[in-house]
Structure 1
């Protein structure tokens, strides 16, 4: 009895220490908010994989993931401080960096390295080329990346922008308004339009024709992971941890694109799983598979290509200031090349 009583303070102290250690570990989790580019879809699986598999937690991060309202809108939400991280269009970031360099976020992981921007028209439309858009009415959600880049596209493709009427619409009405003839064409990302149409029972291969910006020389980057500059300055290790978690989850999605969609279906069970699997595979092939990743790896950029893209966006939009590439993208938070994908699909 006397031995038991003697040991009691030691046991109590150990238990108390363990309790404080657990509390300290919980407090060590850095809370951050991430805004996506759009509503939940298959290609966003990587963010939920990082959450479900504990990749964020292992990096000391407590991440809240919110749906987005457009790739351009995500950039603005990070710039205003509403979110620490965002998944948004780097071209919108370039525009913001030209106008408000101190507010603009910083790109830390380039995800979509091939331009997905397009204008979809009906397959029986007389619109065959970009020049044919003159005299027509085009529509898209106000924060759509392709719509935001249309002034640049008109410059590159030789379109008289004054002869094109632009109207805004809710994203869920985009494909329906096109098929009903309420507009002559709609802005969007190729896969977003194609698979949204497919979910609505349409056949995008037969019903639509796509006028892709990339076919007219707009070799732009697209969606990327961006971070608030004040947050990055104050929490560099948290940013590195976030990027490591995203990179690891991206590798998981590449290894099993069909299985990865389960993570999205948990959040949005009303989605058509097969359509989201097809959307994810198409995104990997068409938007994340630029040949340059064999050299620089997914997440990084070709510096010369990025500089050309910046110049193109600045010139086409008549911006007064050309941002330095270092203020748009940094590789300082990337994992080593040996840990990042150098091939997405065969």
Structure 2
């Protein structure tokens, strides 16, 4: 009897040892399986040629922040925000960085339900850059002046709302249409009194051309009542529905990279320069610092974290877009932005 009990006990013990061994083997093989898992291929489109304003996304690629989320991100350059949005809508790009106000116009009619999921520029970069020596120190001084307007300029689309809000007579401002390539040279030469554009582009480029900083009046739309957000990440809706965790990982990497660009702007610019043909380090460093101060690290972002929107403010900005664009069916804030992929507040604070 004792012999039988001993045999049974030994059998049970051996079985337990075997099960523990299998469990250990499974645990040992799990990391190996994770290591062998192929990264998810992502196509990400910029809406314009790369400069320091997109440094966070360059860093996310070069410093391995995307790859740490299991993403293999390839980038390309579209011919403006409408083109980049069309690529995402068609699925040829999973993500793109675009002007959110172009997305608002795109969502009119029966457009594909493309939405923004992350806002990089809490304030739009729209601005009128003027010469003080031409008599322009504030927005009210623009009446009776000549405004240089580049083809396809996004800021011009919100000029009617800005002028209306500030009591400016639009008819009193002469517009001189031109290509973007000659915008800053014409202002520098005094052929126009001011130009529309992005504050981090025109103003920085003019100082680089030798226009004294104290002769430039940078009239930011955001300082005169413009509610618009700026550049935002959009995602293909079918991709987001199929791979929500991938979208969340993409945004975690973007937030980490934004923190890094703010902490180490010199490093960020060095990485950007590897993607540019003829960039100048001092110029791009000034551009990045301008973007961080004016567009990214705003009071709203310091309070509420990066990436999200205030729905009420977004609704007001859609109303401002409507002053120059006749909607067939006005989109709502919920049609434009989806916060469901963002991490909680603790994961969105800028350190």
**Same fold flag (TM > 0.5):** yes
The alignment partner of 2:284 has SS state of helix
Deviates more, 1:219-228 or 1:135-144: 135-144
Quote the residue 1:224 is aligned against: 232
Which residue of 15, 30, 44 maps to 1:34?
Answer: 44
Q: CA RMSD in A?
A: 2.8
Q: Is the 8 A contact 1:71 1:144 kept in 2?
A: no
Quote the residue 1:111 is aligned against: 120
Q: Unaligned stretches of 5+ in structure 1?
A: 1-16
The alignment partner of 1:186 has SS state of strand
**Distance in structure 1 (CA, Å) of the matches to 2:110 and 2:276:** 37
Quote the residue 2:318 is aligned against: 310
Q: Is the 8 A contact 2:52 2:269 kept in 1?
A: yes
Summarize the alignment of residues 125-140 of structure 1 with structure 2, pairs less than 5 Å apart. Answer: 125-140=134-149
In structure 2, the CA distance between the partners of 1:268 and 1:342, relative to structure 1 (3 Å rule), is: closer
1:173 aligns with 2:208: no
The structural deviation recorded for 1:272 is 1.3
Quote the residue 2:299 is aligned against: 291
Quote the residue 1:234 is aligned against: 242
Summarize the alignment of residues 1-346 of structure 1 with structure 2, pairs less than 5 Å apart. Answer: 25=37, 28-71=38-81, 74-97=84-107, 99-103=108-112, 105-203=114-212, 205-268=213-276, 270-342=278-350
Deviates more, 1:291-300 or 1:80-89: 80-89
In structure 2, the CA distance between the partners of 1:136 and 1:229, relative to structure 1 (3 Å rule), is: farther
In structure 2, the CA distance between the partners of 1:127 and 1:33, relative to structure 1 (3 Å rule), is: same
Which has more radius of gyration? 2
The alignment partner of 1:292 has SS state of helix
The structural deviation recorded for 1:269 is 5.8
1:185-243 deviations in Å (ceiling 9; x for gaps) = 2111111112222333433x233222322232112211111122233223322211211
Q: Is the 8 A contact 2:127 2:199 kept in 1?
A: yes
The structural deviation recorded for 1:108 is 0.8
In structure 2, the CA distance between the partners of 1:341 and 1:269, relative to structure 1 (3 Å rule), is: farther
The alignment partner of 1:268 has SS state of coil
In structure 2, the CA distance between the partners of 1:33 and 1:202, relative to structure 1 (3 Å rule), is: farther
The alignment partner of 2:273 has SS state of helix
Q: Is the 8 A contact 2:227 2:314 kept in 1?
A: no
The structural deviation recorded for 1:109 is 0.9
TM-score in terms of structure 2 length: 0.81
The structural deviation recorded for 1:141 is 3.4
